[in-house]
Structure 1
Amino acid sequence: MAGITGIGSGMNIDQMVGALVAAEKAPKEAQLNRLASATETKISALGTLRTALSSFQTALKGLNDIKLFENRSAKSSNTDLLTATASKTAQSGTYSVKVEQLATGSKTATAALSSDFKTTNAGTLTVNVGEGEGEDVNVEIGEGASLEQVKEALNAALKDSGVTANLLTDPYSGEARLVMSSTNTGEGKDVSISASEGLEELDIDTSVGSAQVLERAQNAKFSIDGLAMQSATNKIEKAIPDVTLNLVAADKDKAITVTVAQDQGGVTANIKKFVDAYNNLIKTTNSLTRVTKVGEEGTPLTGGLVGDSSVRSILSGIQNELVSAGGSDGVRMLSDLGITTQQDGTLGINDDKLKTALESNFDAVGKFFTGDSGLMKRLDSRVDGFNQTGGILAQRVSGLETTNADIKAQREKLTLRIESMTARLYSQFNAMDTMVAQLSSTSSWLESTLSSLPGVVKKTK
């Protein structure tokens, strides 16, 4: 910065300036570093706390939903044969179901044709799925069309109908047949083709006894509590009110038990999510407020929110609600559901007691958790003021970010002050160096001049 210094005086000006600047800079820089570190630690800790609180609030909202307690579940004892779902208006009950056969679509085929068959005339093929069941599909076929071209024309016209065309060729005889496959299930929904004049070889007749029907479309056949029933599809929606049965496979000798009941599984899952979220919050706050001793004389490791009043207020409010009585009809506290506080402050669940409470007091459990006076709403009101947008924790983070900005500004000021001080010291020391050099030069001149005067006796070495 100052070039070559100290020539006149012989002093190490760079070292001297550096030492003075360091002595001035070090205390303030150390103070700012400590403040910056503490500020960042608190911002990070508050962010961790807000994340845990957000997860906790999500679990509260999931359990504070009356629809959860209105839902009904339909369980099948053999999902390989049948699955079931129920709407919230379904009546509880148990049903014995047997599946004799599934509903299927048809497979039909043209008469055997030469593999090099070509149409002799242009015309129209009219495809129908079941007599009078649906709209006919007319497919235009050109003169001289091969079976492959006929297949492609049919598939293009039938792409949204659930019907596909394919070719099967006998490798021995070389004869080919156009096969029509349908996903439209139900008795009478066989795929037929009526051909215009000149295309009669492509007719498919589905009348009784026709050899052109490879597999007839059929209804599903099943029984509920011994009553025989049929359906055109494998999705049964009206046999049991507000319950949908989905037939998967048939086995007429196996009885399937379908149980329609309150959705205890869904409620249990949400209760466990609430407990897990609370336990995570407790573990998080313990970590953020913990003081860990390091060795006999080492500096203890402290969490980012040791002694923090917000943490104490949050936990105090939550824990007060957890032990407050509410609800009615045998469910007034969490302990009535088998949920109790463990030695480490977390919650534990007695699964058997929870199951018994749901089976015997399902509606009372719903009232305990949900509604404006339910536990979930009360807990959320204790937390929301801290964690909401613009809430206490957000304001604290904002204040800490302001502190960070102030630290940055102070660092910039310190840098400018140190630069100014450095320049001033170099100027002063260099001026001194120059003066010393001048004095040394004057001293040497005087000594030389005086020594040459008459009568001056020179010192001998």
Structure 2
Amino acid sequence: MGLTSVGIGSGMDIAGIVTALVNAESAGKIASFDTTEGKLNAQISGIGLLKSSLSEFQDQLELLTKSETFDSHKVSQSNSDYFKATVDENAVPGKYQVIVEQLAQSQKVGSAAVADADSPIGEGSLTIGVGSDSFDIEVGAEDSLTDIMDKINASEDNYGVTATIINGDDGPQLILGAKNTGTDNLITVTATDIDGGTGLADTFTMTELTPAQDAVLTVDGVKVTSSSNDVSDIITGVSLELTDADIGKTTTITVEEDTAKATSAITGFVDSYNALMTTIQDLSRYDAATENGAILQGDPLPRSLQSQLRNIISSSFETSSGSGSQMLMNIGITTTREGLLEIDEDKLSDAIEADKGGIKEMFITEDTGLASRLDTFVESYLEPGGIIDGRNDTIDNQLSRLEDSREALNLKMSAYSDRLYKQFNAMDLVVASLNSQSSSLFNALDSMPGVVKKT
């Protein structure tokens, strides 16, 4: 770059002049770059907002693709003193009379009492059985009752018993309790002494402390026995968690269709659809009064999305129920002039009561159901490498090209600045030379004979 000081010969501010000329040359292009960059960044922001709204809409769609949303039931019981009842989608509406006669319980057996829980018992082995399973414990010559308890609990083959020590009036006893209830989980203990004594065999002559028993109940007069207090295979789709027993008390279970979950899911779908459409409208609207457009006004992305969503929403869907084809308008969901959905709650409630199966098919049928089609469509926008990713890549490329243009302009302006400095510096040298010649001429004239200076 040339001289950047005030011109020596001309006295001109060459640096200021060059800077002003360079700025004048580049200002329009820089302003254009800034405007374009601002628009592109605004588009990225708008597309990000659109993607977020689409994702929330897809999350809400998930509920409408699940059978349990439409097949749910609710259960009530006349009292909750003896069990807690729950239901799944296979439950059959009706009333059931249940009497809990006896709860299931696990067996507990105890060893003989010893004088000291930390004194050796005798060398040998124990074979402990629980139901049809068994495992062995090797007892060393120095092992005490406490050591044996620890070995039982730590055994990798022990799936069925828990060992503990209770210090009773007669002395410490090892107590074995079955982990599972019912008569299928009886405990057996076989002790073998190998040191010639009988300490281990005598100590592990077990006494039953708590008998194993099965749960006993009657359902609509039918007697049922269960090894567990969690009973799930008696009434179709109904599970009972037994908590108490009284042969003289009857509890009535009432199973009914539950439309609340389906209604809630459909209402949530309408709300999320309206939120999505409002976002699209806000991003693409044009205000004629102010002549200002939104971030994505005129952009084909939101227009295409909006159009295809409306087409799917207004479609009819074939069902195998008596109602034949179904549309949202048939169940009380219509489109407003603004392109949003509104619900006639009474009509929706009546439709679900009358044909929940048909409505279920309309939403969840794979590939052809409303929720399934919408989910597939939205996924084409959200999936990695999908429409939105493609659009973001396009904008990123535009920003990259814009940055290249900025760098090219900087190089061009740098060259232009160098050229200007050279030109102005050359001019400054010429002016300096002319000034020097002028000064010499005046000095020569002043020194000529007969020349009188004016004062």
| TM-score (normalizing by structure 1) | 0.82
* CA apart distance, 1:249: 1.7
Q: Contact 2:284/2:298 (CA < 8 Å) preserved in 1? A: yes
Tell me, in whole angstroms, the C-alpha distance in 2 between the residues paired with 1:237 and 1:383.
39
What per-residue deviation string (whole Å, max 9, x for no partner) do you get for residues 401-422 of structure 1? 3322221121111101111111
* CA apart distance, 1:233: 1.5
Match of 2:195? none
| Pair 158,449 (structure 1): closer, same or farther in 2 beyond 3 Å | closer
Q: Does 2:151 match 1:153?
A: yes
Q: Contact 1:325/1:332 (CA < 8 Å) preserved in 2? A: yes
Q: Contact 2:92/2:255 (CA < 8 Å) preserved in 1? A: no
Q: Does 2:142 match 1:144?
A: yes
What is the correspondence of 1:318-333 to structure 2 with a 5 Å cutoff?
318-327=309-318, 329-330=322-323, 332-333=326-327
What is the correspondence of 1:14-413 to structure 2 with a 5 Å cutoff?
14-57=15-58, 59-60=60-61, 63-64=64-65, 67=67, 71=71, 73=73, 75=75, 77=77, 81-86=83-88, 88=90, 91-116=92-117, 118-129=119-130, 133-157=131-155, 160-170=158-168, 175-187=171-183, 189-196=185-192, 197-205=198-206, 212-241=207-236, 243=237, 245-252=239-246, 253=249, 255-257=251-253, 259=255, 264=259, 267-290=262-285, 302-327=293-318, 329-330=322-323, 332-341=326-335, 345-371=339-365, 374-376=369-371, 379=374, 395-413=390-408
Q: Contact 1:69/1:267 (CA < 8 Å) preserved in 2? A: yes
* CA apart distance, 1:346: 3.5
Q: Contact 2:178/2:187 (CA < 8 Å) preserved in 1? A: yes
Please give the root-mean-square deviation of Cα atoms over the aligned residues, in Å.
3.5
Structure 2 unpaired stretches of 5+: 193-197
Q: Contact 2:117/2:146 (CA < 8 Å) preserved in 1? A: no
Tell me, in whole angstroms, the C-alpha distance in 1 between the residues paired with 2:38 and 2:282.
18
Q: Contact 1:137/1:158 (CA < 8 Å) preserved in 2? A: no
Q: Contact 1:235/1:244 (CA < 8 Å) preserved in 2? A: no
* CA apart distance, 1:126: 2.3
2:449 aligns to what SS in structure 1?
coil
Match of 1:429? 424
| Pair 70,204 (structure 1): closer, same or farther in 2 beyond 3 Å | farther
| Pair 159,74 (structure 1): closer, same or farther in 2 beyond 3 Å | farther
Tell me, in whole angstroms, the C-alpha distance in 2 between the residues paired with 1:401 and 1:91.
57
1:199 aligns to what SS in structure 2?
helix
| Pair 239,386 (structure 1): closer, same or farther in 2 beyond 3 Å | closer
| Pair 326,406 (structure 1): closer, same or farther in 2 beyond 3 Å | same
> Identity over the aligned pairs, expressed in percent?
34
Tell me, in whole angstroms, the C-alpha distance in 2 between the residues paired with 1:302 and 1:176.
87
Q: Contact 1:110/1:204 (CA < 8 Å) preserved in 2? A: yes
1:113 aligns to what SS in structure 2?
coil
| Pair 284,110 (structure 1): closer, same or farther in 2 beyond 3 Å | same
2:97 aligns to what SS in structure 1?
strand
Tell me, in whole angstroms, the C-alpha distance in 2 between the residues paired with 1:348 and 1:79.
41
- Given residue 410 of structure 1, which amino acid in structure 2 is its aligned partner? S
Tell me, in whole angstroms, the C-alpha distance in 2 between the residues paired with 1:128 and 1:326.
60
1:32 aligns to what SS in structure 2?
helix
| TM-score (normalizing by structure 2) | 0.83
* CA apart distance, 1:123: 0.9
* Count of aligned residue pairs for this structure pair: 441
Tell me, in whole angstroms, the C-alpha distance in 2 between the residues paired with 1:405 and 1:288.
24
Tell me, in whole angstroms, the C-alpha distance in 2 between the residues paired with 1:166 and 1:386.
61
- Given residue 145 of structure 1, which amino acid in structure 2 is its aligned partner? D
Match of 1:209? none
Q: Does 2:415 match 1:420?
A: yes
* CA apart distance, 1:155: 1.4
* CA apart distance, 1:361: 0.7
Tell me, in whole angstroms, the C-alpha distance in 2 between the residues paired with 1:380 and 1:122.
69
What per-residue deviation string (whole Å, max 9, x for no partner) do you get for residues 345-394 of structure 1? 43344555433322221222133334455444565687677667776655
Q: Contact 1:451/1:458 (CA < 8 Å) preserved in 2? A: yes
2:199 aligns to what SS in structure 1?
coil
* CA apart distance, 1:113: 1.9
Tell me, in whole angstroms, the C-alpha distance in 2 between the residues paired with 1:433 and 1:355.
92
| Pair 383,193 (structure 1): closer, same or farther in 2 beyond 3 Å | closer
Q: Contact 2:181/2:213 (CA < 8 Å) preserved in 1? A: yes
Q: Contact 1:115/1:169 (CA < 8 Å) preserved in 2? A: no
